[in-house]
Chain A
Amino acid sequence: MSFDNLDTLYRQVIMDHYKNPRNRGTLADDAMTIDMNNPTCGDRIQIHLQVDDGIVEDAKFEGEGCSISLSSASMMTQAIKGKKVDDALKMSKIFSDMMLGKEVEEDDIDLGDIEALQGVSKFPARIKCATLAWKAMEKGVGEEQ
């Protein structure tokens, strides 16, 4: 079986996040909730954010979707938790550059597991799946600011 090409998309760490999602669930009522749809496939994702004094204190997600959209949501919540809102937005920008296949400069930000999603850029039809959770987060903190 020649699934080498597929393996660049479905990296092990992605499948781990898909199988064992981090931060799945809801937050207290006073947290903000952002709904985001992927209209091409009907996938829905809900991001819950607790932002205090410019810091993302907590982040969770719910929803239905494919391995790429759910693992991306899992990684996103993990990555931004405890970060400054500005840094979360900076990561989002780096992520979207990564999806466009651009060289990303990591500087002082540790991308951690997120780097595993780099392969998605080679599957144009799946980029929207990967960016869904990040777009929801951007929308949420954008409203906050």
Chain B
Amino acid sequence: MDVKAIREQFPILNQEINGHPLVYLDSSATSQKPVSVIKAVEDYYKQDNSNVHRGVHTLGTRATDKYEGAREKVKKFINASSTKEVIFTRGTTTSINTVAYSYARANLKEGDEIVVTPMEHHSNIIPWQQAAKATGATLKYLPLRPDGTIEMEDVKDTITDRTKVVAVMHVSNVLGTINPIKEITAVAHQHGAVMMVDGAQSVPHMQVDVQDLDCDFYAFSGHKMCGPTGIGVLYGKRELLENMEPVEFGGEMIDFVNLYDSTWKELPWKFEGGTPIIAGAIGLGAAIDFLTDIGMENIHEHEDQLIAYAMDRMKALDELEIYGPEQRAALITFNLTDVHPHDTATVLDAEGIAVRAGHHCAQPLMKWLEVTATARASFYLYNTPEDVDRLVEGLNKTKEYFGDVF
């Protein structure tokens, strides 16, 4: 993989921040976009912009072809068995909420259980809290091991015949933990529960095969995988989606509308109310082309090498605590002793290094870690070992700067 050539595809990376070349280490929050994605969106607006599925005119056909072409690309990318199983949404949060509204509220009752983990992003906790409140079901947490991993033993103890939904993230946005989704899905299915996977941090970085995982629902966002903001995907098994009611009514999703009753389009359009996110889907399609050309295996391997190097260098630093397991995705969440992560991030920013500081939308996990906030450096295909060196250098300067104070 030629990282230098890849970096040239990302014009944003070629700039100075506070007098230093930018080191972007916040891809877990949102990735940067290559020129091909920016151009695909621009070309659509310049040449093909039109509403989809209804215009008889030529532009309408072109826009529809591009929009549905993007769906085909997503289908192949995650190995769904049909484009009927690929619903375009606003992002992971909307995807999970769709399942929590449509599936959970219709199928859950008092006495049923929803199983989640304490490491989930707020977007895979709150929809289930709300669904539990609405249906009388109980929200149950899978315990985490001290290193921030899930043991199958605990999974088997927690999921019971009362469990109707299991909702787990594939990769933790804080700990970097890669969860055994296939194995957890198998246990969920043994008990007749459906498996919802938050794939926001996995799909951008590794090959995901939804049929192999056998999960029932899988959600992810375009903007974390080189695509535009405002577009995401809900994958669902066809049989389940067929039996679910739409969440949004009107616009694109209608079939026949009468004065007092209406019918819906078939899958996947019945879940796509309003004018769809046409430009976003086309941009996501271009992002998938970009990632596929490089190869997800190559990206994964590059990130594996980078995180191994970053862990080695970060662990060698004194007064730095790293959270999460040894075996991890390409991100490191950490704290410097006696320096608040906000202050760390401000000093690093003064050095041109962008990291995240805060609770990372995982307040229950922060509580579990017994911290109020942490700093996080996350890596992607365009990051280099030199970026890691700059980070370590920046952290040393941070220690020095605040060390002078104390």
Contact = CB atoms under 8 A, between A and B. Distances in A.
Interface of A: 1-3, 5-6, 9-10, 15, 18-19, 40-44, 64-68, 123, 125-126, 129
Contacts of B372: 41-44, 64-65
Q: Which one of B19, B342, B343, B366 has the highest number of Cβ atoms from chain A below 10 Å of its Cβ?
A: B342
A66 B366 contact: no
A65 B397 CA distance: 21
Nearest to A14: B405
14 contacts: A1-B397, A6-B350, A10-B343, A10-B401, A19-B405, A41-B342, A41-B357, A43-B373, A66-B342, A67-B342, A68-B342, A125-B349, A126-B346, A129-B342
A5 B17 CA distance: 13
Interface of B: 18-19, 340-343, 346-347, 349-350, 357-359, 363, 366, 372-373, 397, 400-401, 405-406
B364 to A, nearest CB: 11
Given A42-B358, A42-B366, 14 more contacts: A1-B397, A3-B401, A5-B18, A18-B405, A19-B406, A40-B358, A41-B359, A43-B342, A43-B372, A43-B373, A66-B340, A66-B341, A67-B343, A126-B342
Contact of B346 (A40, A42, A65, A125): A125
B358 A6 contact: no
Contacts of B397: 1, 3
Closest 3 CB pairs of A and B: A66-B340, A66-B342, A42-B359
A132 B357 CA distance: 17
Nearest to B359: A42
Contacts of B350: 3, 5-6
A6 B341 CA distance: 15
A27 to B, nearest CB: 23
If over half of A's interface residues share one DSSP class (helix, strand or loop), that class is named, otherwise mixed; here it is mixed
Nearest to B366: A42
A5 B347 CA distance: 10
Nearest to A40: B358
Nearest to B18: A5
A1 to B, nearest CB: 6
Given A5-B18, A126-B346, A42 B373 contact: yes
Given A2-B19, A5-B350, A41-B357, A66 B343 contact: yes
A3 B358 CA distance: 23
A1 B393 CA distance: 11
Contacts of B346: 6, 9, 123, 125-126
Given A43-B373, A65-B340, A66-B342, A15 B358 contact: no
Nearest to B349: A125
A41 B18 CA distance: 23
A94 B346 CA distance: 25
A42 B174 CA distance: 15
Contact of A6 (B340, B342, B357, B401): B401
Contact of B347 (A6, A64, A68): A6
A2 B401 CA distance: 11
B405 A41 contact: no
B363 A42 contact: yes
A68 B346 CA distance: 11
B343 A41 contact: no
A18 B340 CA distance: 11
Contacts of A64: 372
A43 B342 CA distance: 10
From B340, B366, B397, B405, residue with most partner A Cβ within 10 Å: B340
